[in-house]
Amino acid sequence: MTTKASTLSHYIHRLNQVIDYIYNNIDSELDVITLAEQCHMSSYHFHRVYRSIAGETINVTVRRMRLQFAAGMLIRTQDPIAKVAKLTGYASIEAFSRAFSQRYKQSPSQFRQQEQAKARYCAADFYIMNAEEDSNMFTVEIDNTEAMSLIGLEHSGDYMQIGQAFEKLNMLAQQHGLLSENTRFFGIYFDDPQTIETQQLRAMATILVPELPTPLPSEFSIFSLPKGRTATLLHQGDYASLETPYEYLFGQWLPNSHFEAADIPVIEEYLNDVRDTQPCELLTRISCYLN
């Protein structure tokens, strides 16, 4: 490794410690001085180094992570909005509502009502859907997926926190020259969060590369997906609301189809960049392998 590459690797390792700190202290004061201390840099240099490597300022990253965490809480819990604001580091409900509305284009209460209504619709007990009703919620297509060799980072625990692995992956892949405008990002999910304890959930944050680097950088793991037939649907909206298309795919579409799911993890492909895309415009392609 050249001296320049070694220095970049060292910086990225230190910045990844900052990413971990943010995720583990999302309800705390996350000012530049505190974050710079986590990687032993002056706040002045930290600002510049982080923006250069991550592609956005640290303040933008923190705000995005806080609001993404808040969106998940609004959907998955009935906690009062004041509590959600406090647990995501906002000093007042007014400041939280203002920041949330600016990013999500609706108030926290409107977002919760809309997304929980979708989830209730998809999870309704004894709901029977026939083929003509498929288009009411999502369109499922049968595709032939090519074999893929993915490299990435392992993630354990709450699937809503896999963004932590993707933040690190983005910087590490950049370090090793693996990113281009055509790079495709995938999430691989090995367990059902409805039946497995949250702390035992397993996933991977990955990218598809034209050919595997040799030797493979020690930070990465390889995961190979076979060629096969998949049921695929496209979801538009915040990542926090991805449970809704899963409920539809596995709770409604699959039982009413003549297909069976194969014993291969579900994959998600993220079709735009969360850093410069409004949450309501995020596109995720969910694919389930079929026997």
Return the pLDDT at 142: 95
Give the dihedral sign, CA 99/101/107/111: negative
Enclosing H/E stretch for 286 = strand 283-289
DSSP conformation class of 97:
H
pTM above 0.75, yes or no: yes
Query: DSSP alpha helices (H): ranges in the chain?
Result: 3-24, 32-38, 43-54, 58-76, 81-87, 93-104, 108-123, 163-175, 243-248
**Is residue 81 scored above 70 in pLDDT?**
yes
Return the pLDDT at 123: 47
Where residue 262 falls among pLDDT bands split at 50, 70, 90?
A: very high
Where residue 128 falls among pLDDT bands split at 50, 70, 90?
A: very low
What domains can be seen in the chain, in order of their start residue? 3-118 (1.10.10.60), 140-289 (3.20.80.10)
Q: Which amino acid is at 54?
A: A
Enclosing H/E stretch for 151 = strand 148-156
Q: What are phi and psi of 220, to 5 degrees?
A: -100, 150
- DSSP sequence for 154-182: EEES-GGGTHHHHHHHHHHHHHTT---TT
The string of pLDDT tens digits covering residues 239-260 is 988 888 998 898 889 988 989 9
